A and B are shown apart, each in its own frame.
Chain A
Amino acid sequence: MTNTLHRYGESFDDDYIVFAIPARGINDGNAAEMERRFLEIARKYKPVNMGDASHGGIFRPAKDLNPSVHWSRQERRDFEGVVNSVSGPTTVAVVFDNPDAVVEFVKELKTADLGLSINISGGLDQARECARRAGLERHSVEYSLGFFGQTDRMADRQTLELSTMCGHGMLSFGLVRKLVEWVKQGRRTPEQAAGTMARFCSCGVFNPARACRLMRRQGEKERTPGGRKN
Chain B
Amino acid sequence: MQIDQQKCVACGNCIPVCPMGAIAIDTGLNRAVVNTNECVECYACFRGMSMEKLNPTLVRGIRRLLKIFRLRFDPEPDVCPTSAIIPDELSWPRVVRRAFSDPIVTHESTGVHGRGTEEVKTNDVTHRVGLGEAGYVIEFGRPTVGVWFRDIEKMTRALAGIGIEFEPRNPVTHMMIDRKTGKLRDDILNEKILSAIVEFKTAVENVPVVLRRVDEVSKTLDTVVSVGVSTRCDVEGNSALDGILAEEGFSYVRGKTNLGLGHA
- Shortest Cβ distance from residue B252 to the other chain A in the assembled complex, whole angstroms: 5
| Interface check A48, CB cutoff 8 A | no
By a CB distance below 8 angstroms, the chain A residues around B48 are 61, 170, 199-200, 202
A140 near B125 with CB under 8 A, answer no
- Shortest Cβ distance from residue A39 to the other chain B in the assembled complex, whole angstroms: 16
A143 near B252 with CB under 8 A, answer yes
By a CB distance below 8 angstroms, the chain A residues around B194 are 168-169
By a CB distance below 8 angstroms, the chain B residues around A132 are 237
- Closest chain B residue to A151 by CB distance? B224
A144-B252 contact, Cβ under 8 Å, with A119-B259, A170-B19? yes
B259 near A138 with CB under 8 A, answer yes
A150 near B227 with CB under 8 A, answer no
| Interface check B187, CB cutoff 8 A | no
| Interface check A207, CB cutoff 8 A | no
Q: How far is the CA of A182 from the CA of B13 in the complex (A)?
A: 14
- Shortest Cβ distance from residue B258 to the other chain A in the assembled complex, whole angstroms: 4
By a CB distance below 8 angstroms, the chain A residues around B16 are 172, 174-175, 177-178
B232 near A140 with CB under 8 A, answer yes
By a CB distance below 8 angstroms, the chain A residues around B54 are 67
- Closest chain B residue to A131 by CB distance? B259
By a CB distance below 8 angstroms, the chain A residues around B230 are 140-143
Q: How far is the CA of A136 from the CA of B227 in the complex (A)?
A: 27
Q: How far is the CA of A182 from the CA of B141 in the complex (A)?
A: 28
| Interface check A87, CB cutoff 8 A | no
B227 near A115 with CB under 8 A, answer no
By a CB distance below 8 angstroms, the chain B residues around A227 are none
- Closest chain A residue to B258 by CB distance? A140
A143-B241 contact, Cβ under 8 Å, with A90-B113, A124-B252? yes
| Interface check A2, CB cutoff 8 A | yes
- Shortest Cβ distance from residue A203 to the other chain B in the assembled complex, whole angstroms: 7
A-B contact count, CB below 8 Å? Answer: 332
Q: How far is the CA of A182 from the CA of B166 in the complex (A)?
A: 45
- Shortest Cβ distance from residue A13 to the other chain B in the assembled complex, whole angstroms: 11
How does the 8 Å CB contact mask read for B180-220 relative to A, with 1 for contact and 0 for none? 00000000000000110100000000000001001100110
By a CB distance below 8 angstroms, the chain B residues around A182 are 77
How does the 8 Å CB contact mask read for B227-264 relative to A, with 1 for contact and 0 for none? 11111110111010100010000101111111111111
By a CB distance below 8 angstroms, the chain B residues around A79 are none
- Shortest Cβ distance from residue B192 to the other chain A in the assembled complex, whole angstroms: 13
| Interface check B160, CB cutoff 8 A | no
Select the residue from A2, A62, A147 with max chain B CB neighbours within 10 A: A2
A145 near B211 with CB under 8 A, answer yes
By a CB distance below 8 angstroms, the chain B residues around A175 are 16-17, 77-78
| Interface check A58, CB cutoff 8 A | no
- Shortest Cβ distance from residue B261 to the other chain A in the assembled complex, whole angstroms: 5
By a CB distance below 8 angstroms, the chain B residues around A124 are 252-255, 257
By a CB distance below 8 angstroms, the chain A residues around B74 are 70, 187
How does the 8 Å CB contact mask read for A177-198 relative to B, with 1 for contact and 0 for none? 1110010000100000000100
For B263, give its contact among A64, A115, A179 (CB under 8 Å): A115
A115-B221 contact, Cβ under 8 Å, with A5-B254, A61-B48, A66-B52? no
| Interface check B18, CB cutoff 8 A | yes
- Shortest Cβ distance from residue B39 to the other chain A in the assembled complex, whole angstroms: 13
A149-B221 contact, Cβ under 8 Å, with A23-B122, A139-B260, A169-B42? yes
| Interface check B129, CB cutoff 8 A | yes
- Closest chain A residue to B115 by CB distance? A1
| Interface check B165, CB cutoff 8 A | no
| Interface check B124, CB cutoff 8 A | yes
For B103, give its contact among A1, A67, A131 (CB under 8 Å): A1
By a CB distance below 8 angstroms, the chain A residues around B101 are 169
Interface residues in B97-142 by Cβ distance below 8 A to A read 101, 103-104, 110-116, 118-126, 129, 135, 137, 139, 141-142
| Interface check A49, CB cutoff 8 A | no
Interface of A with B (CB < 8 Å)?
A: 1-8, 12, 19, 21-24, 26-27, 53-54, 61-67, 69-70, 73, 90-91, 106, 109-110, 113-125, 127-128, 131-132, 134, 136-151, 153-155, 160, 163-164, 167-175, 177-179, 182, 187, 196, 199-200, 202-203
**New A-B contacts (8) at CB < 8 Å, excluding given A6-B226, A121-B255, A144-B252:** A53-B113, A61-B78, A136-B259, A141-B231, A146-B226, A169-B19, A172-B144, A196-B77
